[in-house]
Structure 1
Amino acid sequence: MPRFSIILPVFKVQGFLRECLDSVLRQSYRDIEVIAVDDCSPDGCGAILDEYAALDPRLRVLHLPENVGLGRARNAGMPHARGDFLFFLDSDDTLTPGALRAMADRLDETGDPDVLVFDYARTYWWGGTRRNVLAQVLADAAGATFTVTERPEILDLLMVVWNKVYRREFVTGHGFAFPPGYYEDTPWTFPVLLSAERIATLDRICLDYRQRRQGNILSTTSRKHFDIHDQYARVFDFVDSRPQLASWLPYLHAKMGEHCLDILSKPDRLPPADKAEFFRRTAEMFRARRPAGAVVPPELRVLQGSYPLYAARMRADRGVRELRRRSQRPRRAAAARLTRAASAVTARRSLDRELVVYSAFSHRGVLGDPGAIYLKSREIAPRLRGVWVARDEETAALMPPDVERVVLDTPEYRRVTARAGFFVNNVNWPGTLVKRPGSVHIHTHQGTPLKYMAADLLAKPGARLGVDVPQMLRRADRWDHSLVANLHSELVWERAYPCHFTSARTGSPRNDVLVAADPERIAAARARLGVPDGHTAVLYAPTRREYRRGGHVERLDLARFAEDLGPGHTLLVRLHPSLATGPARGLGLSELHRRGVLVDATDEPHVEDVMLAADLLVTDYSALMFDYALLDRPIVLHADDWDAYTASRGVYFDVTAEPPGHVARSYRELAWLLASGSWRDEESARLRARFRDRFGGFDDGRAAERVVRTLLLGEDLKSDASDMGDAGHTGTASGEGAASGEGAAGGEGSDGEGASASRVPSPHSAPDDLLASS
């Protein structure tokens, strides 16, 4: 008996069917049967199904003699199902890799509930991807099983059948079946969820819900949308037949009204001549099905009136929206005039040479190089007043209470930025910030660049998608000083940012803690991340890909990777910052973290602490490798798509030829390196030492102090090591919220105008091979 019976109704999807079948039959989890129901499809679907069935005995095909529609096609497949759980998959959608394994594991964990609800992502015909906006509902319910009474918010999820699997004995025991019609999922989903005694959730994207440009029956203009009334009548009849469910009638009554009004409000659902009739039938049903004593929500009271009143209200609402849109133009113009007037007034006030304004990662907190400079300034130059810019009130509230902060675009922000003598940032300041003569802008960057940045992206149209390179360079024109950690970075910034600023060979302030590697901080970081004593912590930190819209490409099966590491190991995973809020974490990372398979370290605010906690770094082309090398701990590169990556993004040198450690070209090679212990052999140490000498030459643990004393206080420091002296103009701006070598193709940087000399001593002499190879 298979674990899953996947019932696949098929009708006029020949362009998508192979992709759907491949996504199912190529799953790593094999204990399945697929029952494909050819709903008398007039295209080539039947032949495709027979072709696949001849190659894989797990697939059986039912050819119906006539077209019966989606619901009844599912019904036709159910008597043939032998699996523990039923899964109704639409034949133009696809399963994500590892989905069935994740479902099976969650079913085992929860003791075979009646229903398992999992997450999905909408995938658009133009290439975009958007996760279910109510994914948090699944995450919040990720503990024990429950009923809808205990978690009624589960009913707020999209009323579809394909985001769930159902225990077959539960379905057959209740006699659940699909009715005919457009909205057949509604009278299935409500009765099933209301009847289930044990529901579980899986906070993982298991299905890609294809948003077709044309062909979605629920997005077509047709009288068939009147079917919604019959389907809700079935729901009400089901509840009426079960007195124990009577308490749900007010909820279902309101849900019916919301659903019908939503259909009516869409301009492309109903023929204009049919809208009055649809409203009348909805209002009649709303009145007839209203439970005794039920309070009608304000937004549904329109159903107690007539269609002309409803239509007049809709016209009025559209008129209000149009007036608001038009009124915003003069308001914006007036606000711009006020801002210019305020700037003119403040421009007459003298600069405050002891006021330093900081920002990092698009105003997200006291982080990165600016954060390290700020903390060192408080320690050795307390007379300097540091003020941080927060992107909103919520971010400001999360900052330490003793940190002075202002919220972006508020009067306080404008007053502070108008008078500040210094600006320190690792992304560009907004274009509205005008650099006053005499103010000094220090740009810190976010790491050593491997991949193309800024002006170099002009030759890579795919990598610069959504990036305005000329605007980026105009903002970089405001920089005075560009901090560099090595000669490679200095030369790259000169090429990528042809602007007038001076390089300051200070090292990277945020890396001071890596050079120091304080044992107490290491222990605290490991404890906070949940690394047990004695475990080898392996940090996996992949970067984004420009050859895939959205940037996320799964290069490893994380569950398998964690398992292959074996006992005594803890896998830490840190996604690229630009992927932290997208679908990437829903493709298994969050669920694996919840189950304790690995640790999702993406939200750890200080990446330096994540690196301190790790004994080994496994990465692909992330700029994190340049920082991690300072710890003198092993690094392994997983470069299985190097050719595709370099072709799409462009790189400044071949890191696979000059790596910081061993290079794996496949998962098999990576697994062998880790299992054999080669990841920490003498060759690994030799490669790492050469890499560290080349890219860590300016990092000696005093970078933050060097910035404060030379650039903020104007001291002329001398060093026992050779003085690197001045550097020519060079600069960079990195992707918003991502490391310089890590960012989306371009992004925000800092300001600076003019090129003041920056005589910053080097902590080390520059070796001859460094100069040559750079």
Structure 2
Amino acid sequence: MSHAQNPVAPRISLVVPVYRVQGYLRACLDSILEQSFEDFEVIAVDDNSPDGCGRILDEYAARDSRVRPVHLDENQGIGKARDLGAQRATGDYIFYLDSDDTLAENALQAIADRLELTDDPDILLFNHVRTYWTNRVQESAAGELLAAAGTDVFTALERPEYLTMFAVVWNRVYRREFYVGGGFTFTDGIYEDALMVYKTMLTAERIACLEQVCVEYRQRRQGNSMRTPGRKHFGIFEQYARLFEFLDERPHLSAVRPLLFERMVSHFLFTLVRADRILPQDRPEFFKLASAQYKRFKPARFQKPEGTPGLRFDLVERGSYPAFAAVEFAGATKKKLVKRASKMRTALGRRAYDRLYRMYLRRPIDENLAVYSAYWNRGVACNPAAIYYKAKELAPHIHGVWIVRPGEEATVPAGVDYVVARSPRYWEVMARAKYLVNNVNFPNEIVKRPGQIHLQTHHGTPLKQMGIDQQRFPAAAKNMSFHKMLERVDRWDYSLSSNQHSTEIWERVYPCAFESIDSGYPRNDVYFRATSEDVTRIRAELGIEDGKTALLYCPTVRDYQKGFVPRLDLERLCRELGPDFVVLVRTHYFYGADPQLQALQERGLIKDVSKHPVVEDLCLAADALITDYSSIMFDYACLDRPIVSYVDDWEVYSKARGVYFNLLSQKPGETPGATATSEDELIEVFRSGAWKGEKATALRAAFRERFVQYDDGHAAERAVRSVFLNQGVTPSVLPLDQRTPAPAPGAARTAPAVPAQPSGEAGLVSA
């Protein structure tokens, strides 16, 4: 049926099964919705995904009526999810797209054009590429085959070579009347694609091809069910048994039986030797079943392939696994032995403290010991500090030890146990601690033992691009080894998040096997627990005179610059704003003392608070925040106080560092308040009152809705109960409108004193 005959239905129905892909789902949906061709619908089937996928689908559906989510109450598996999507589809063609893959630019237009040119075939085959986390793109093997077909229309019996294409359902579209009329449905278990592909190809009366790349097939480093070893891969035998039962019922297809037999055995062998599919202890049994299926379905007069592949076929037919293993795994075993010997030589050459570390690694793990570190051992701070204090309250049996750099010992609060990095005791606690808590990664040399639990707390919400996304930005990466980085991330068991945006980003840019805990950031608990007395006291300690408006200026580091380069004439700003304002300046912790700031402070123009030990105190003291790309904006948003974005180098920064959204867009959820791109604009923002005006307030509310999602004063408790006490992520997050942040300085001067809520973090506020 041509599209002209059914103008109401969309031309293409994209069926997208969705499960545990929250880090990739937006990219998938964006690649569809940004297509130049618009006559489509998206049937997105949420297969009871336990992460944020369902919420993402509803968000997209609210913005675009072509997205039609279906939410399942129980997990059905990808086959059943596809079947349900096909039942809901109304388009002329069904296009199965996996939710971690993306469409290439103009893919749908190219498909629609070729469908029209070939007069609506039953199946249209098209090309794809494989994309890797390293940004490598690999062409498929089907390009020449697809190009050779031109605009011809044929059957699989006429051109059996097209049965050798990658047997997946997402590199083709199906005419819906052909597909539904044929009663095609997916079978349970994995490897269901191969059975569906062969059955539909052998049934179709009209097949056409398109050589253009239409799908970008993502090769995930972790999380792909096909690359998780286990017994489920034995399901491949049942799928191919069903295929040959299908052939048995259709004698007219006997001509392609040898080809499909060869495809089956090759698929068995490919699966057998993959370490990410069949476990070594299961290989003999898998080989035995492959041999039995070989003998059962071998066609008469079958000709084995030549060379080494033929030898493998012969060994399978003979059922000789020892001989097969000798041929297949001898080389790999030799490489492993050479690598192990090399590692041993390296280990024997290490210094004395490494020998000490190896000795401690042989001792039992201390189930009641936790090691904490923050900002590359810069002291007791950030999310790890809040967790440490909360653990002392809720899990007092767990002894916490902090790692500090040499020379930082004096910064450790009284009563806090610590070790100096690389000291003898450091190696002991790192080797024996049950819990490892950090807001950055531990060094490469640290070994994550079985039984140890690594909690990654992070130290900000990502505006700038992170993890493997930095590969596209050399100024940010600075010769970073991304392979080494991911090896460090492989040690994570848990990753804390303060909002869905962060959860999605972390899972995509750190493609490893950790579990996300949507707890909020523990360091932000203080913003909901500090009282008016706390605010007044902190301002007094900082020397902020009563009645003055304090502006906290926090510029972040520039990857394309060396050292602190002031982007603002602070002397002019203070002069223009007048005596009613006081400016607190905090430079990034990467920078040392700045003589210019010191001179301005000596003249009484600013307060240089770069070395103040607790940044949360500074936020509580400030009436407003001036920042650029620093993640402090997301934390400060907890306080529901004005945020001004001063970004005079947006074009340079966004291109050199890469960003996830546009701070200057003025879109709700992207811009946190008033913005300025020059000193004159910044001064006018304060003179005019725009910094706290109606528009800025509305933008801040939307920004808080998106980013202050889990922060409610109980994040540290959720982290401790979940990781240390195994009680789940409790208590539940309070709705945003039920949270009460610390009073603003003006309100604090008039508000009655409120007793501090017991939190275990009082020392963090005043430290």
Task: Tell me the TM-score normalised to structure 2 length.
Answer: 0.49
Which one scores higher on RCO, CA 8 angstroms, separation ≥ 6?
1
